[in-house]
Chain A
């Protein structure tokens, strides 16, 4: 149980997917202009990351390992994730129009989010069991949501600032992310004994 808690907090704070692993930067930079959209994106990513971790774990342990096909994991994982996202989209459209409106166009975009494929590959690489895999996927999503929300709040304030012409848009966003990554360094060594 202790290990699960350590995994959760380290993936949220220390090995944050965006600020220290550099995964999922495209949506982080693309959808962080206002905090409402950022929150929707964060929730969608958290949901897909958790479920994709679960699905790819089953595929890996019940399909690839018994037939010794581990070398096909990249192809199988990306297909599973793409199919899964499509499936989730259809289910949500049928059952909950409210949720569909909240997630909007962000769901299909998530297929090409490297954080989703990244978390699946990391789970296999670290040899996590089912519970640890779920916690890692969920924690990764929570960390992503936190980072994108902080970023969106800063960028909303930035609208009123006089940023030099050539630094507007992406460059200043990267510099802010750098400062955030710096701040999160404070959590380093939190769990080392």
Chain B
């Protein structure tokens, strides 16, 4: 009974870890390229977050399943093949079911392959831990990544276009600052957000 409680506690803790104290975007500063490139609108951010979470979940499960008989020397190529297989599945599914989103995300879907978050989790977590906890880790990291993307995208879409998810958030007199949905706005938003997180997370 006590053992079961401990298992459940650890499962929850692995999920929570990815969202807060080891948040891939704000704490570990991994996977920056997609976070900046596709955070121009909230819908793109959600799409990217879901696609990355799917790949993370699939690759973590597979890597964890084969962890005991993968030779250490060839583990990185093996991980890359597993990851790129799931990325191809995600790419083709998005193209079939949501062509508009697929077009908006462009080459950043195939580029999930080289997203450091996914390889880092396969190497640092899934290749050492059982499947059960690897699932928790993938869900937590995926949720953390999606939340971070959505936060950046909400700020940029609200200031740069005056909308969130397509709905106007400011009055009719709001004059959007287009620069926020262009490249400089992306760098500025994420820089200030990480600075804010550092400030809030600092030990008093």
Q: Is the CB of B114 within 8 A of A79?
A: no
Give the complex CA separation of A172 and B87 in angstroms: 33
Q: A167: which of B84, B113, B195 is its contact (CB, 8 Å)?
A: B195
Give the complex CA separation of A157 and B185 in angstroms: 24
Q: B195: which of A24, A121, A171, A177 is its contact (CB, 8 Å)?
A: A171
Q: Does A7 contact B (CB under 8 A)?
A: no
Give the complex CA separation of A79 and B85 in angstroms: 12
Could you mark each residue 108-138 of chain A with 1 if its beta carbon is under 8 Å from any beta carbon of chain B, else 0? 0000111001100110010000000000000
| Chain B contact patch, size range | 35 or more
Give the complex CA separation of A174 and B189 in angstroms: 9
Segment touching A, from B7-15, B29-37, B61-69, B124-132? B29-37
CB interface residues, A 139-175, toward B, < 8 Å: 164-167, 170-175
Interface residue SS majority, chain A? helix
Interface residue SS majority, chain B? helix
Q: Does A73 contact B (CB under 8 A)?
A: yes
**23 A–B contacts from the bound complex (CB under 8 Å):** A22-B32, A22-B183, A23-B33, A26-B33, A26-B116, A71-B88, A74-B88, A78-B113, A112-B119, A114-B111, A117-B111, A118-B107, A121-B110, A122-B107, A167-B198, A170-B29, A171-B192, A171-B194, A174-B190, A178-B184, A181-B187, A182-B179, A182-B184
B interface residues with partner A (beta carbon < 8 Å): 29-30, 32-34, 36-37, 77, 80-81, 84-85, 87-88, 91-92, 107, 110-111, 113-116, 119, 179, 182-188, 190-192, 194-196, 198-199, 202
